[in-house]
Amino acid sequence: MILAPLRGVTTRCFRETFAAVIREAGFREAVAPFVSAMPGFDPLAGRELGGGPDAGGIAVTPQFIGKDPAALRSCLARIRSAGYGTADLNCGCPFPMVRNKGRGSGLLRSPDVLRRMLEVGCEVMGAGKFSVKARLGVERPDELLSLMPVLNEFPLRFLTVHARTARQMYGGAVDTAALEAVRAAAKMPVVANGDLDWSGGTGMVGRSFIRYLGTRGDIGDLLRRYIDASAAELCGDRPVLGRIKELVSYWRDLPQWRRRWDLVKICRSADEMRALI
């Protein structure tokens, strides 16, 4: 299994704090939450990738979002210099503010730009070292399928498919038939994503594993460690609380968290959060 990138949740700090649990659950690799491939941007400047390609014994694959092949080339060269051997291109972010700018799932609407991004990725990282994470489409579930001739031109490591359209965001049913149609057309391995049970042992899994953490008997101790690690990394209580609340929001409908969630939402200090959990 591969741990999916969840923006604001599966950060490097999270992966290091929960490393033993992540490994115990069967994950051996994590795709890091995306960083932007922009002109002049150094992807190693922050802690997310600056710490190197191993977080608590879990191999890390950086993911990039963007539409500028030259900027992607620069970013990939930079992470290679730090020892990263794999990278991923985000063609799946469903948020309108991202896709309307031609990034994330918006790349599915620009085959020529997508082709140039894939050319750069496979050239810089090497054959079998560059992967893509995509949605089935923006509006229709056959859009990715129509792009398979483009993706099949390249020696991709794998193609991860979240079996929903961008328009669906994270709601509605996954389209298994559309996923299987992509798999049948693909020359590279296809990794499933979207509503997968982490205990199933295959695919790229994110939200179901995060929800599982909320059911653990030792989650209080783990969360306190996460608060401490976040406080050492971030500046002030506000970003620490934002990070913890984002994680706990995945558990708000679990029986053991329903009442606590109301209190978590209004926490105003890290000490208050430590006491509450």
Is residue 50's pLDDT more than 90?
no
**Residues 47 and 112 occupy one common structural domain:** yes
Q: What is the pLDDT of residue 165?
A: 98
Which tokens in the block code for residue 1? 């299994």
Domain hosting residue 81, numbered range: 2-213
Is residue 226's pLDDT more than 90?
yes
Output the CA–CA distances (angstroms, integers) from residue 94 to 118, 150, 248, 251, in the order listed.
20, 21, 22, 22
What share of the chain has pLDDT > 90, as a percent?
92
**Residues 235 and 166 occupy one common structural domain:** no
Which tokens in the block code for residue 19? 């490393």
**Residues 191 and 234 occupy one common structural domain:** no
The number of distinct structural domains making up the chain is: 2
Q: Which of 277, 258, 270, 210 is nearest to 8 (CA)?
A: 210
Query: 94: how many CB neighbours lie within 10 A of its CB?
Result: 19
CA gap 110, 112 in Å, rounded: 6
**Residues 122 and 181 occupy one common structural domain:** yes
Per the model's pLDDT, the better-predicted residue between 199 and 225 turns out to be 225
Average of pLDDT values for 77-93? 97
**Residues 133 and 244 occupy one common structural domain:** no
Mean of per-residue pLDDT scores for the chain:
95
Q: What is the pLDDT of residue 197?
A: 82
Q: Which residue among 213, 243, 258 closes a domain?
A: 213
CA gap 146, 199 in Å, rounded: 32
Q: What letter would DSSP give residue 32?
A: P
**Residues 143 and 186 occupy one common structural domain:** yes
Judging by DSSP bridges, how do beta strands 29-31 and 58-61 pair with one another?
parallel
**Residues 243 and 204 occupy one common structural domain:** no
Average of pLDDT values for 120-133? 98
Residue 231's pLDDT band (boundaries 50, 70, 90)? very high
**Residues 70 and 202 occupy one common structural domain:** yes
Main-chain dihedrals φ then ψ at residue 136, nearest 5 degrees: -65, -25
Residue 199's pLDDT band (boundaries 50, 70, 90)? confident
Q: Which residue among 170, 188, 213 closes a domain?
A: 213
